[in-house]
Structures are given as C-alpha cells and as structure tokens.
Amino acid sequence: MVALTKLRELYADMVTARRYEERLQEEYLEGKQPAFDISAGPIPGELHLAAGQEAAAVGVCHHLRPSDTVTAPHRPHHVAIAKGVDLKRMTAEIFGRETGLGKGKGGHMHLFDPDVNFACSGIIAQGCPPAAGAALAAKKRNEDAVAVAFLGEGAIDQGGFLESLNFASVHDLPVVFVVEDNDWAISMPKERVTDVEDGSKRADGFDMPGVRVDVDDAVAVYEAAGEAVGRARDRNGPTLLEVQVHRRMGHFMGDPQTYRSDADEEAALARDSIERLERELRDRGVDDAELNEVREDAETRVEEAISWAKEQPHPEPGAAHEDVFVNPPSGVTDSEPDFELAGVSGDE
Amino acid sequence: MTETQNLTLVQAVRDGLFTEMSADEDVVVLGEDVGKNGGVFRATEGLYDEFGGDRVIDTPLAESGIIGAAVGMAAMGMRPVPECQFSGFMYPGFDQIVSHMSRFRTRSRSRFTLPMTLRAPYGGGIRAPEHHSESKEAFYAHEAGLKVAIPSTPYDAKGMLISAIRDPDPVVFLEPKLIYRAFRGEVPEEDYEVPLGEAITRREGDDIAVFTWGAMTRPTMEAAESLAEEGIECEVVDLRTVSPLDREAIVEAFEKTGRAAVVHEAPKSGGLGAEITATIQEEALLYQEAPVKRITGFDVPFPLYALEDYYLPSAARVEAGVKEAVNFP
C-alpha cells in the first residue's frame, strides 16, 4: 500500500497542476475573444493544456530524482510541475519574459530546466530519442540515473518512438517510455488511428515489458511506475508504460472540438483522477480541512508564480541574438541590428 | 620535428576520431555499421577494436534514433560523434537536427549545450544515386545554431574534425566522398586544430576571386592553373566552413580583384553561392566590375550516373564561367 504521506504529495502536485492550467487558461483567453485572435493577450501563440492527465505525470515523476532526465511533449506543464521544474521561471517562460527558463524565447512547449534535467520537444515523439541518449550516457558513465520520455498515444505511430523502443531494448537502456493515452490524437479518436487498443502491447515487438494502467488513478500509476523506474534504476532494461488519462479540454486552447461529441467530453470530465484521489484520501482518514489546506497552498503557489511572471520584463530585442552559440562566430550577422528601425524595444 | 603520415582524406578523418577518442573518454561514435564493420567508407576502421563496442556503437538503421540519442548524450555532457552513412540518410533524422540539435541551447538560456558532431559523407561523383550524391549543405547552413564544416584536404579533415569534436556547439561535418581517396596528403601524427569559420586561400591571383569548398576545390584549382597559362590569375578561396561563412575573407578577396565566381555542386537556386553573392553586394558593391558568376549544379534532383559528369561543375565549366566574369562587359 502506498504511504499516506506519498498520497498527499501526489495530490498536492495534481491540484497544483490543475489549478495552474485553469489559471493559464484564464490568462491565455484574455483579449483573444470574441473572434479568436491567437496573437492577442498576455500569452500569445498556442497553449496546449494537459488537464485530466495529471495522474500519469505525478505517478511517474514521484519516483524520480533531479539527476533523472525527463523529456516531455508539447503538453508539458503537469510533467514539469511533477518533475520539480521551477514554477516561477517556467511561468515567466510561458508569458515570454526575460527571466523565463528560456529567456522568453522558447514558450510553453519548450521548457528546459537543467537543474532537474527536464526538456521538452514540441514535435510529438521526438523527445524519445534524446531520452534514450540520456539513458545511454548514464549507463556509459555508470551513474544510476534513469530517463523517462513522455508522449501521447497519438504519437506512438511516429518513427522516433518506435526507433527509440528498439534502441533502448537492444542496448538495455535505463529508460521508461510513458504513453499518456487521452483517447484523442488532435481530432482523431484512438480507434481510427490504430487497431491496437492497448498501446503497451507494442512493447512485445521489442521484447520489452509493456504495462497498461487502465484507469485514471494516480496511485495505480505510482505503483506501476515504481516497478518500471526500479527496473531501469537496477539496470534491468527499459519499460513501456501506457496510462489511461482523459482530455478535459481541446487539443489547444481555442479548439472548438467540433469533432467531439458532448457525451465523450462529459464522460471524460466524469472520470476525474483528482476526485478519485480525494476519495481515497478521505477513505484513509484525511478530512476536508486538510484537503482544503492542500488546495489553498496550491492556489497560493500558482498565484505567486503567475503574478511574479507578469511583473518580469520582456527580453530586450538584442536577446534574439544570444544563446545561439557558446562561442558566437563573427560574421554570422554582418551588421548591428537597428532596433529603432525595426520598431521594437524591450519594456520601456 | 613533427612526425607526419601520408594519408587519404578518409584516413585523416579516422585519424581525427582516433585522436579525440584517445584523449577524451566522453567522445563516442555511433551509427550504422560503424563498429565491427568499420563504417561503410572505413572512416571508423579499427576504432571498435581499439575502444570497444561501448564507445563505438553499432546502431539500428534509424537516423532519428541515432541523431536523437546523440542529442541526449550531448545534453548530459558527453561528446557524441554520430555518423550517417550518406548525407541523404540525414533526412529521417532531420527533425532531430533542426528541432533539437540546433536549438537546445537557445531554448535553455545557454544552459544545455550540445557538443556533438554529426558526420556524413556528402556530394557527388561516385556514380551513386541521388540521395547518395547530393549536396545539401545549404539546408544546414540555413539553420541557426549549427556550424557546417566541409574539409577539402586530408590535413584539414583531421584538424577540422578535432576542432568540431572539441567545439562546445553542434557541428554538421560533411565529408566530400568523391575525394575520400582521390589523393594523399601529409597529416601530422599529433593532434592539432584547424579552426572552424576560417577560409584559406589556395592560390593567389589578381584577376578574379573564385570561392569554393569540398570536392569542387580540385576542378577549381585545375581550371585556375589552366587559366594562368592564358594570363588569367585566379585567387582561389576554399571556404572550408560554410556556416559561419568567413565573410571577411570573401570581401577581402573580392576587393582585391573586383570580380568573383562561386563554384559549388549543389543546385544553383538557394545555394550558398547566392549568400556569397549577396555578401559581396552588401559589403563591396563599389569594387564590383562584373556580375558574380555562379558555376553550380542544376536545379534538378541529382541525376543518375550517366548524367553525373554533366551535372557536376567540371574544370572546363569553371574555366568558361571565370572567363565570362573576367571578360565582362
């Protein structure tokens, strides 16, 4: 049985991630309505939210250490929070601010935090090969670090995923591939893109353990991930872990989801993993006051991160030229950029 | 006194790998057939026996996996040197190159750096089909965050490869396979660096500057010698690194001569000849006495062997092109 203190920690991260995305949604939609204008508001550009997928992230990442590598896909916030990425700097990045993880040049699906070895790939499944590489590096250096690649079930037909499974298997790499199955590949339901309902079966073809957690249950994920991460940590090879999650929102914010039935959406909302964990906590003697306290702490953390981020300056235009090379070569640009002429400036 | 060896270009590549693998345990080679087999062009011959399968890693035939794994290893501080058997096989791993290899640094406030060197034989002239022969250096030069190096001599091959492996930034290292074994050159046994980003003048002349790199250096030099007999003196500049371009060397050679030609085997449109021409226009217009002549491959997929000699710039085409520029108007 998972210790009650651990359940509380899982719950805290899950409600933080959920609250975080609810608030991001509000901030994101500011100024973008009524006619959806993707360039408007404090968070211009796309935003892919993961509300409903928290169980997978926290259940896996609570077995990880800062030295373990995680690569997350374009829907990364819940994974980043569970991995311990600095929430303020991550938020500043999402708002495009100078103090963000990537100096406000990467955006919400390019979050990189070397302090906890966290990286993203905006291209689906393409985080898998680097995760395998990080695992290979750990193995070669005799370090006990492991790597975890997160991807959606819509990404499991990508070559990069299948190549990585094979590579990890043949080299016995300490890596875990975590498929978050939210039933939807953008607008395509799972049954229309694959005949294999249980994605973890793909592991069979690579002689690798494949495990599916069939319910939105953080505790069940925690237990399954414990085995998978333990197998990697003990140098017994990779695992493919598929976790049933649900998509509470559209593929991206502003997605009208015309392809999705109301019934499907309602069914998704009804199987909330956070409510499930709350029931379990109550069954084990945690009262409402304590649950409220966790939620209030999460709320405070989120509000502090967002208000801090919004106070941060935008990057100076010259920052566009920074961080490209360690030793910036001369001659890449042959003249100094003229910011005034370009009509841009940093914060006044 | 430095000991030297008389090596081919591909042997010099192998020597560079050997040197860096001996010096730094974090340098590992990975790719298809690179281990026991020694590589399709023998660029990794003997490395497996010397360093073992842990550092000379035979991989599945899956370039996204190869290049992506190298990205992950480099992010963790190793110095991987992935190989693609032909530059045409880089395309299945293209997303890893442009979405990860070139951008981890920018996306992470410089905190992740990728000291990796992606090697691939490139270019035509060996009677192989299109993706075994084409010349796509402009793809990679266009991608900010990558350096693109192309040696044309055994000496440069070893020295530039050592520089690339030691470079803290990711380098695409394209090896002109037409001249892998075409000639030998003196190569020091010790380690040495030939800096990336620096062109070299292969021949001095006052009448026209001819810019080239890789396998095209040879027909260009051949043409220059022949033209000298007619009294036309070419300044031949081997750029060696096409990103970053040595713009100072380009401008200096052009200002000396007032006329220029660019020789590359890649198709003309969007090729780096256009970038060099634009640099001249921007920096040295008032020195210009004739249009810059581009002597290049054609805007077609690389043709099969029967048309290959027609497609590739030859010494005769270089001569003709240079004369056009010299005789203008």
| Domain ranges across chain B | 4-188, 200-327
Average pLDDT for B268-275: 97
**Mean pLDDT of chain A, nearest integer:** 93
Angle between helices A54-61 and A218-233 (to 10 degrees): 40
Catalytic residue among B100, B131, B132, B142: B132
Best mutation site among B32, B78, B96, B108 for testing chain A: the one with the most A CBs within 10 Å? B108
Backbone angles phi, psi at B255, to 5 degrees: -65, -30
Say how many CA atoms lie within 13 Å of A197 toward its Cβ. Answer: 2
Q: Residue A120: its chain B contacts at CB < 8 A?
A: 107
How far does the CA of residue B164 sit from the closest CA of chain A (Å)? Answer: 12
Name B267's bridge partners.
B297
Position A34 confidence tier, pLDDT thresholds 50, 70, 90: confident
Q: What is the DSSP letter of A43?
A: S
Number of separate helices (H) and strands (E) present in chain B: 12, 14
Coil/strand/helix, residue B180? coil
Q: Is the pLDDT of residue B50 over 90?
A: yes
pLDDT above 70 for A331: no
The three-state secondary structure class of B160 is: helix
Average pLDDT over residues A8-37: 94
What is the phi/psi pair of residue B218, to 5°? Answer: -70, -55
Measure B186 CA to nearest chain A CA, in Å: 29
In the numeric block, the tokens 């992740």 are attached to: B112
Of A171, A178, A88, nearest to A135 by C-alpha is A171
What is the pLDDT, as a whole number, of residue A342? 62
- Judge contact between A49 and A55, C-beta under 8 A: no
List, as own/partner pairs, every contact residues B88-92 make where C-beta atoms lie below 8 angstroms and the sequence separation is at least 24, other chains included: B88/B130, B88/B131, B88/B132, B88/B133, B88/B134, B89/B32, B89/B63, B89/B120, B89/B131, B90/B63, B90/B118, B90/B120, B91/B63, B91/B131, B92/A159, B92/B62, B92/B63, B92/B64
Q: Please state which CATH number belongs to domain B200-327.
A: 3.40.50.920
What is the average pLDDT across B1-28? 95
Nearest alpha carbon to residue A67 among A165, A173, A144 = A144
pLDDT tens-digit series, residues B157-183 = 999 999 999 999 999 999 999 999 999
**Which chain A residues are closer than 8 Å to B76 by Cβ?**
69, 117, 133-134, 137-138
Q: Do A133 and B68 touch (CB under 8 A)?
A: yes
Selecting from 3.40.50.450, 2.130.10.10, 3.40.50.720, 3.40.50.970, what CATH number does the domain B4-188 have? 3.40.50.970
Q: CA–CA separation, A54 vs B321, rounded Å?
A: 65
- Asked if A134 lies within 8 A of B72 by C-beta distance, the reply is yes
B55, B60, B244: residue with CB nearest A329: B244
**Does the domain formed by A4-342 have CATH 3.40.50.970?**
yes
User: A245-280 pLDDT, tens per residue?
Assistant: 999 999 999 888 999 999 999 999 999 999 999 999
- Are B135 and B297 a contacting pair, CB within 8 Å? yes
Percent of chain B with pLDDT over 70: 100
> What is residue B127's predicted lDDT score, i.e. its pLDDT?
83
pLDDT tens per residue across span B292-307: 999 999 998 898 888 8
On chain A, the residues whose CB falls within 8 A of the CB of B71 are: 129-130, 133
Q: How far apart are the C-alpha atoms of B13 and B162, rounded to whole Å? A: 9
Q: Which A residues, 147 through 176, put their C-beta within 8 Å of a C-beta on chain B?
A: 147, 159-160, 163-164, 166-167, 170-171
pLDDT at position A321 over 90: no
d(C-alpha B119, C-alpha B145), whole Å? 16
Domain ranges of chain A: 4-342
Asked whether the predicted pLDDT for residue A339 surpasses 90, the reply is: no
Q: What is the pLDDT of residues B172-228, one digit of tens each?
A: 999 999 999 999 999 999 999 999 999 999 999 999 999 999 999 999 999 999 999
State chain B's mean pLDDT as an integer.
96
Active site residue B142: no
Residue B178 carries which DSSP code?
A: G
Distance (Å, whole) CA B314 – CA B329: 24
Is B4-188's fold the same as B200-327's?
Answer: yes
Nearest neighbour of B65 by CB, restricted to A106, A129, A330 = A129
In chain A, which among 294-323 make CB contacts under 8 A with chain B? 322-323
Q: Does A57 touch chain B (CB under 8 A)?
A: no
pLDDT tens digit string along B95-151? Answer: 999 999 999 999 999 999 999 999 999 999 988 888 889 999 999 999 999 999 999
Q: Is the CB of residue B285 less than 8 Å away from at least one CB of chain A?
A: no
What one-letter code names the amino acid at B115?
Answer: P
